[in-house]
Amino acid sequence: MAAPEFLLEGRGLTVTYGNGVRAVSDVDLTVRHGEIVGLVGESGCGKSSLANTVLRMVKPQSGTLSFNGKDLLAMHGDELKAVRRSLQVVPQDPSTSLNPRLTIAQSVEFNLKVHGWGRRERRARVMEMLDRVGIPASYSTRYPHQLSGGQLQRVAIARALVTDPSLVVCDEAVSALDKSVQAQILNLLAQLQRDLDVAFLFVSHDLTVVEHVSDRVLVMYLGRIVEEGPATEILTAPRHPYTQALLASIPTRGQQRAAIHGEPPSPVNPPSGCGFRTRCPYAVDACAGYDNTPHAVGPDHAARCVRLDDLALTAPQAWRNS
C-alpha cells in the first residue's frame, strides 16, 4: 500500500461546545510526513480546540479526520491506543504537565509502560531520549520542582518522543518560557524533527515563534483558517488583512508595533460572512455576504478574503501607517 500523501488530513472540521461556542468552523488541516505545520492566531480563536480534536480529546461536531489514511474519528479501544502511540502531545505549561509526585524518568517511562515495553528496554530508551533532549542522566531521579522551566519542557518533549511518534502536537509549547529559553527549545524541536523525521503541529499565539520553526503556517481567526501557505510566503507576502495585522503587531527594532484594533467578536454569535470584517480596515459591504470559500493565491497558498484581487497588500508597513 502506498503511503497516503498526508499523515494527518482533516476536512471540514467543526467543533461546537455545549455552551453554543463554535470554536472551530469548517477547518481543513493537513500535515505531511515529517513536516512542521504552524497554527497561529489570537487567544480564544480555537487553536487548542483544533489541537484537541486532532488528539481525539474533543469530538468534532462534523468533519472527517484521518491519520495515516485511517479514520481517526471512528477508532476506539486497542486501535485508538495503537494510534495514540504515534500521536503525542507537548502541552503548554511543563510545571503542570509533569506529575509532581513522579521523578522525571518515571514520567517519561510511563509513556512506554502504557504500550507494554519491557523494563530493560524502557530504561535504555528513557535514558537515550533524556540524553537527546539534553537532560543529564543524573537528573533522571529528580522531581519536576527541582528543574527549571526550560529543562521541564525538554523532559516533556522527551516524553512525547519516547514512543517514536509520527506526529507531535505542541500546544503553546514555548509560551510559558522566557524568550532566550524559547529559542533553545525551538532549536531543539527543529533538530529533533530533522533527526527523527517526526511531524509537528505547532500551535502558538505568537507568529514569531511559529515562523521560526514551521514549514507551513495556518493563520486562524474566530474558528476559521483565514490564510495558509508556506512559512516564507506568509511572512513576506501575506494576503489576508488579518495576517498582515499579525505581522505588523510584531515589534521590530526602532518601529512602533501596531496593535489590531478592538476585541475579537464573541464566538457564540460570530458576524456573518468574514469573521474579521468587524476589525478590518479594508472591510466593505461584500464582506458580510462572503461565503468563506478559500481562494488559491499560489501553490499551497490560499486565503479567505473577498478583496484578494483588489487589495495589493504585501508589506506590513502599509498596515502600520493606516
Partner 1 sequence: MTSAAVLTTRFRARRRPTWALSTQVLLALVVLLLGTVFLGSVIAPYGATDGDPANRLLGFGSAGHLLGTDGQGRDILSRLILGTRLSLLTGIIPVLIAGTVGSAVGLCAGLASRLVNTLIMRTLDVFYSFPSILLAIGVAAALGPSIKNAIIALSIVLIPPVARIVEAEVVALRSAAFMKVAECSGASRFLIAVRHVVPNIRAPLVVYCTTLIGLSIVDAAGLSFLGLGASPPTAEWGLMLNDARNYFFRAPAVALAPALAILLVALLFNALGDRLRVELDVRQRGATP
91 is a site residue for partner 1 (CB under 8 A): yes
Q: Is residue 47 involved in binding ligand ATP (CB under 6 A)?
A: yes
Selected from 8, 9, 25, 48, the binder of Mg ion by CB under 5 A is 48
In this chain, which stretch among 18-26, 44-52, 249-257, 314-322 interacts with Mg ion, using CB under 5 A? Answer: 44-52
Instruction: State the binding partner of 270 from partner 1, Mg ion, ligand ATP, none, CB within 5 to 8 A by kind.
Output: none
Residue 43, interface with ligand ATP (CB under 6 A)?
yes
**CA–CA gap between residue 280 and residue 293 (Å, rounded):** 18
Shorter beta-carbon distance to ligand ATP: residue 134 or 206: 206
Give the Å distances, CA to CA, from 161 to 112, 164, 316.
10, 5, 37
CA pair distance 258, 251, nearest whole angstrom: 8
Residue closer to partner 1 (CB basis): 53 or 244? 53
Q: How far is the CB of 167 from partner 1 (least distance, A)?
A: 12
The residues with which 230 forms a beta bridge, in sequence order, are 216
**53 near ligand ATP (CB under 6 A):** no
164 binds partner 1 (CB under 8 A): no
In 162-303, which ranges are continuous DSSP H helix? 179-196, 207-213, 231-236, 241-248
Binding partner of residue 131 among ligand ATP, Mg ion, partner 1, none, CB cut-off 5 to 8 Å per kind:
partner 1
Closer residue to ligand ATP (CB): 23 or 90: 23
Q: How far is the CB of 293 from partner 1 (least distance, A)?
A: 34
Output phi, psi for 194, to 5 deg. -70, -45
Q: Does 49 bind ligand ATP (CB under 6 A)?
A: yes
Asked whether 168 and 199 are in contact (CB, 8 A), the reply is yes
Residues 222, 42: Cα–Cα separation, whole Å: 9
How many residues touch Mg ion under the rule CB under 5 A: the total is 1
- Residue found under cell 527549545: 185
Q: How far apart are the first and last CA of the chain?
A: 54
* Binding partner selected for residue 23 from ligand ATP, partner 1, Mg ion, none, CB under the kind-specific 5 to 8 Å limit: ligand ATP
> Considering only residues 23-42, where is the footprint of ligand ATP by CB under 6 A?
23, 41
Told to check if 96 binds partner 1 by CB under 8 A, we report yes
Q: Select from 26, 28, 42, 93 the one that contacts partner 1 (CB under 8 A).
A: 93
Q: How many residues bind partner 1 (CB under 8 A)?
A: 46
Q: Is residue 102 involved in binding partner 1 (CB under 8 A)?
A: yes
Q: How many residues interact with ligand ATP (rule CB under 6 A)?
A: 14
Site stretch for ligand ATP (CB under 6 A), options 44-52, 68-76, 122-130, 151-159:
44-52
Q: Hey, what's the cell of 320?
A: 502600520
Tell me how far apart the alpha carbons of residues 274 and 285 are, in angstroms, rounded to a whole number: 11
Burial class (CB in 10 A: 0-12, 13-18, 19+), 77: exposed
Counting contacts by CB under 8 A, is residue 97 touching partner 1? yes
Judged by DSSP in three states, 242 sits in helix
The 8-class DSSP code of residue 238 comes to -
95 three-class SS: helix
**Partner in contact with 219, chosen from ligand ATP, Mg ion, partner 1, none, beta carbon below 5 to 8 Å by kind:** none
Using DSSP bridges, classify how beta strands 224-230 and 216-221 pair: parallel, antiparallel or unpaired. Answer: antiparallel
Site string for ligand ATP, 238-277 (x = CB under 6 A): -----------------------------x----------
Q: Which class for 10: exposed (0-12), middle (13-18), buried (19 or more C-beta within 10 A)?
A: buried
